[in-house]
């Protein structure tokens, strides 16, 4: 790994004041190919762990030290390593990442250093497009401070490729502080969906202050992966324009629809019981929720379902597959952002569904028989159930590992593949839509070696694992990044070799460094047609199939 040289630098921001950051240059790289970073800048303040985020303001005379990463919002010191284990390869450790209940709403800014002048600032007539990234982690884990989300190499490559950008990564509240809510909490001034509201405040901060760092506040691409992409799909529902482009990587609100308020109420009641607060007054309950140790709070509420909830104010609403289908209600889904968002890039990994293995690991024993029984006893008729099971070669007597993988394949197709098709179909008539299919296999030892597992695309296109890839894999990583640079700068990310324009085509990336634009159908993209074909025969289509498969994922009813 090339040695990195770090020096400090100071920028005079017109609205903030003096901001101290760092310049990073890798060994063998000339100064004009380095990057400048401002790390851990607090974008919002919090009165307590559940309070609404308040945009950080400045008097223009502030002195901000942005030379080191900020704390994370989840009390998981080894969270970065645990996430890298999902990728199946660890980066060099920088040590445990600090946690804070109220000081962790921070962001990181990375942009290219075009000269060796430390005082250089991009001029107002030459502002750079902004790539604003929201990390994933199921709204439970993750951090912009993790090294796998370091934007230094990504941004440096953008300059080398002649399409310089500024990248911003943001932290937001996770777990109970980000998701726990109830009528009782709202009456006490605690709003729903802190996780999404934090992101909204971060977008507001970027729009207000990024110009002083050389970024164009009117040229923002909001991007996210997994739960971050789900978040982006919710922000696309805003009636107020927030960004110019959006990039959804392996996630939509069809994967995690918002909970109805009554379900959130049940989760809150379960949380109160788990914490032994049933007999306490409202004030006493809230004080305990605010003061209990963060790790203890997280541990005691770990098994209680908490997700974004329906929220008319943000707004946050759920959709069905039918809403996106071209054959329904005029063929367009009611998403406000389709009126103000210029374009969308959306895609998946061939085996994103492996991530659901985390939820099913404790059910692995006998999972083949359990899955067959669940499908046969579902609302599908016997013939449809048999078609689904045969399509995935599922039988009750399969060995445990084979059955587990095939269950995950079905969950992949309903949770990740089918939604990207639906989103593209429902929105391409109103915004430029570019679809990718990531097929480069995982090269590292582990259960998913040789498979294109969840979050592998991030490991590739941010360039942070390049030393551990072969030439063909690095070629895919670089080509993916260049496609993103083109998208962020308003160019066409790839030209169709068939059906020129924005028809139903997709860029297939990998394997072995290959890249080709093909018709976005299973036979061309390396995906399965089973659920797509069955949805044409089942009343309720993909939504009915989703109900069947998600019911199995949630588990059998409590006895």
Q: Give the residue numbers annotated as catalytic, written as ranges.
A: 226
Rounded CA separation 159/153 (Å): 10
Q: What is the DSSP letter of 94?
A: -
Rounded CA separation 441/60 (Å): 49
Residue of 391, 425, 406 lying closest to 521 (CA atoms)? 425
| Angle of CA points 130, 473, 137, to nearest 5° | 50
The beta-strand segments (E) located in 338-418 are 343-349
Beta bridge partners of 7: 23
Cβ contact 74:141 at 8 Å: yes
Rounded CA separation 398/364 (Å): 12
Residue 27 to residues 30, 234, 517, Cα–Cα distance (Å) = 8, 41, 36
Which helix (H) or strand (E) covers residue 478, if one does?
helix 471-488
Rounded CA separation 279/273 (Å): 9
Residues with Cβ within 8 Å of residue 8, at least 6 apart in sequence: 20, 21, 22, 23, 67
> How far from the centroid of its chain's Cα atoms is residue 154's Cα?
17
Q: State in Å, rounded, how far the first CA of the chain is from the last one.
A: 54
Rounded CA separation 324/310 (Å): 19
Residue of 18, 30, 164 lying closest to 9 (CA atoms)? 18
Cβ contact 2:27 at 8 Å: yes
Rounded CA separation 114/117 (Å): 8
Residue of 458, 473, 512, 470 lying closest to 153 (CA atoms)? 458
Cβ contact 159:33 at 8 Å: yes
Residue of 470, 165, 205 lying closest to 478 (CA atoms)? 470
């Amino acid at each position: 790994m090339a040695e990195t040289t770090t020096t400090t630098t100071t920028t005079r921001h017109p609205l903030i004041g003096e901001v101290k950051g760092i310049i990073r240059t890798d060994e063998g790289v000339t100064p004009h190919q380095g990057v400048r970073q401002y790390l851990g800048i607090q974008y919002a303040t919090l009165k307590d762990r559940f309070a609404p985020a308040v945009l950080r303001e400045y008097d223009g005379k502030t002195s901000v030290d942005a030379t080191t990463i900020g704390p994370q919002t989840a009390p998981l010191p080894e969270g970065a390593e645990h996430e890298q284990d999902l990728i199946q390869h660890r980066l060099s450790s920088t040590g445990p990442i600090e946690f804070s209940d109220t000081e962790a709403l921070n962001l990181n800014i990375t942009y290219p250093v075009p000269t060796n002048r430390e005082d250089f600032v991009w001029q107002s007539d030459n502002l750079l497009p902004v790539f604003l990234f929201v990390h994933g982690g199921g709204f439970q884990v993750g951090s912009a401070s993790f090294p796998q989300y370091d934007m230094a190499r990504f941004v440096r490559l953008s300059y080398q490729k002649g399409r310089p950008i500024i990248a911003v990564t943001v932290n937001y509240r996770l777990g109970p502080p980000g998701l726990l809510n109830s009528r009782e909490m709202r009456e006490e001034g605690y709003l729903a969906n802190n996780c999404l509201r934090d992101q909204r405040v971060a977008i507001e901060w970027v729009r207000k202050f990024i110009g002083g760092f050389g970024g164009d506040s009117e040229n923002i691409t909001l991007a996210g992966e997994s739960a971050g992409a789900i978040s982006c799909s919710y922000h696309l529902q805003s009636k107020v324009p927030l960004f110019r482009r959006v990039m959804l990587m392996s996630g939509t609100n069809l994967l995690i629809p918002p909970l109805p308020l009554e379900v959130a109420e049940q989760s809150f009641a379960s949380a109160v019981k788990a914490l032994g607060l049933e007999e306490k007054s409202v004030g006493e309950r809230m004080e305990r929720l605010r003061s209990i140790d963060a790790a203890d709070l997280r541990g005691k509420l770990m098994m209680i379902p908490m997700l974004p909830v329906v929220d008319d104010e943000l707004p946050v609403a759920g959709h069905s597959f039918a809403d996106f289908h071209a054959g329904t209600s005029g063929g367009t889904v009611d998403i406000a952002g389709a009126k103000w968002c210029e374009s969308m890039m959306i895609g998946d990994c061939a085996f994103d569904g492996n991530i659901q293995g985390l939820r099913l690991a404790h059910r692995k024993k006998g999972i083949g028989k359990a899955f067959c029984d669940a499908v046969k006893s579902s609302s599908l008729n016997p013939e449809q159930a048999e078609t689904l099971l045969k399509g995935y070669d599922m039988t009750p007597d399969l060995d445990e590992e084979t059955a587990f993988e095939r269950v995950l394949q079905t969950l992949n197709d309903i949770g990740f593949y089918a939604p990207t098709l639906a989103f593209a179909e429902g929105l391409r008539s109103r915004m430029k839509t570019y679809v990718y299919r990531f097929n480069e296999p995982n090269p590292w030892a582990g259960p998913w070696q040789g498979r294109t597992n969840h979050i592998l695309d991030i490991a590739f296109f941010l360039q942070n694992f390049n030393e551990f890839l072969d030439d063909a894999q690095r070629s895919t990583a670089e080509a993916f990044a260049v496609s993103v640079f083109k998208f962020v700068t308003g160019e066409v990310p790839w030209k169709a070799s068939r059906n020129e324009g924005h028809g139903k085509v997709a860029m297939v990336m990998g394997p072995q460094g290959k890249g080709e634009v093909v018709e976005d159908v299973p036979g061309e993209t390396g995906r399965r047609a089973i659920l797509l074909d069955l949805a044409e025969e089942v009343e309720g289509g993909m939504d009915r199939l989703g109900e069947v498969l998600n019911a199995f994922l949630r588990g059998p009813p409590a006895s």
